[in-house]
Homo-oligomer: A and B are copies of this chain.
Amino acid sequence: MSTTSDRPRRATVHDVARAAGVSRGTVSRFVNGEPYVSATARAAIEEAIAKVGYVPNTAARHLVMQRTETVAFIVHEPHSLFVEDPNIGRILLGANAALSDADLQMAVLIVDTDRDTDRVARYLSGGSVDGAIIVSARAYDPVARVLERLRLPAAFVGHPPGAASAAFVVIDNRGSARAITERLAATGRRRVGMIAAALDRDSGADRLAGFAEALGADYDDALVEPVALYSYSAGREGMRRLLERAPDLDGVFAASDAVAAGAMDALRTAGRRVPEDVGVVGFDDSAWAQRTVPPLSTVHQPAEGLGREAAMLVLRQLRGEPATRDVLLPSEIVWRGSA
């Protein structure tokens, strides 16, 4: 006798109809809040529902409605970073809040290996979701292509890869990077470097572009150290290498707060004081920023807002409203003690 089979049979609309002495149709109308249900019927059905413990069957409803009331939240990121990067968690929470308010469910899909890609593509094709929110997709993301082929309402956090004609929500990475680099330079730094992360994504490339723009003629290729991920360990290693190459460096723009925290660790190990010897600025204003010593000067990024707005974009498409194509959220510099 399996645990599954001795689970109590779930009550259906038939059971309610029988208990209330009306027909299935009337129960259905009541449940969906339609008009043309008499007061006596209402009362009888209400009581019957409570008595038999009726809850509409989701699968049956999905089948007939051709809707699942579920939106996929796709994170295209190594597992380790999903845990480490507080931004992703905050984006997820923002999206979840907006979807919950609209009574939609969220299905979290974490894409790391190629096997995951196949699994997710199959899942999306199976009609299990009405739409999708995609975080940190890279160039020529196969999942993004599947989404486009299915014409599934979607919204990207960050610029969509390739020429995808999809909605997205962003902050001005380039302008913000330029602004904070200028501010760092204005503290009197002569040799300013950058630990540039995730250059295969727009966010990473734009932050580097803004950095270069700010320095203008002073920009020096040799002071840019590219690393793969927005992670603590990448920041530490990057800083170590950069310091070897340019020991006279007196300012660093790290592509994210996690990277900056790692960089500060490497600077400390190398015996440099922050901010006396080297000024450090980051990007994101995540939980990292307030817990480094000294606290980090950085660009505040409204992570929950990004998630919420992305969810809104999907919801609007679901309602058939003309898509607001892209949303730009404001970001601002937060100056603390690290520079």
List the interface of chain A (C-beta within 8 A of B).
1-8, 10, 55-60, 62-63, 68, 79, 82-84, 86, 89-90, 92-93, 96-97, 100, 103, 105-108, 110, 116, 119, 122-123, 125-128, 150-153, 232, 261, 265, 268, 287, 291, 293, 317-320, 323
Known: A59-B68, A60-B63, A318-B4. Is A96-B110 also a contact (CB below 8 A)? yes
Q: Is the CB of B105 within 8 A of A93?
A: no
Q: Is the CB of A83 within 8 A of B287?
A: yes
Least Cβ–Cβ distance between A337 and chain B, in angstroms = 14
| 6 pairs of A and B residues whose beta carbons are closest in the complex | A2-B320, A59-B62, A83-B89, A55-B125, A59-B63, A58-B126
Least Cβ–Cβ distance between A271 and chain B, in angstroms = 14
Docked CA distance A98–B339 (Å): 44
Q: Is the CB of A108 within 8 A of B106?
A: yes
Cross-chain contact of A265 among B55, B58, B150, B291 (Cβ < 8 A): B291
Docked CA distance A97–B116 (Å): 10
Residues in B with CB closer than 8 Å to A57 are 63, 126-127
Least Cβ–Cβ distance between A233 and chain B, in angstroms = 10
Closest to A70 in B: B107
Residues in B with CB closer than 8 Å to A92 are 108
Residues in B with CB closer than 8 Å to A232 are 287, 291
Cross-chain contact of A63 among B56, B63, B86, B268 (Cβ < 8 A): B63
Residues in B with CB closer than 8 Å to A126 are 55-58
Q: Is the CB of B3 within 8 A of A127?
A: no
Known: A110-B93, A151-B7. Is A100-B116 also a contact (CB below 8 A)? yes
Q: Is the CB of A291 within 8 A of B127?
A: no
Q: List 17 A-B contacts (CB under 8 A).
A: A2-B319, A3-B320, A4-B320, A55-B125, A58-B68, A58-B126, A59-B62, A79-B97, A82-B89, A83-B93, A84-B86, A100-B119, A105-B107, A105-B128, A106-B108, A107-B108, A108-B108
Closest to A121 in B: B55
Docked CA distance A22–B108 (Å): 38
Least Cβ–Cβ distance between A217 and chain B, in angstroms = 37
Residues in B with CB closer than 8 Å to A103 are 119
Docked CA distance A6–B153 (Å): 12
Residues in B with CB closer than 8 Å to A62 are 58-59, 62
Q: Is the CB of A8 within 8 A of B151?
A: yes
Cross-chain contact of A93 among B82, B96, B106, B116 (Cβ < 8 A): B82
Q: Is the CB of A128 within 8 A of B58?
A: yes
Docked CA distance A293–B268 (Å): 10
Q: Is the CB of A3 within 8 A of B153?
A: yes
Docked CA distance A79–B110 (Å): 20
Docked CA distance A47–B100 (Å): 41
Residues in B with CB closer than 8 Å to A265 are 291
Least Cβ–Cβ distance between A283 and chain B, in angstroms = 17
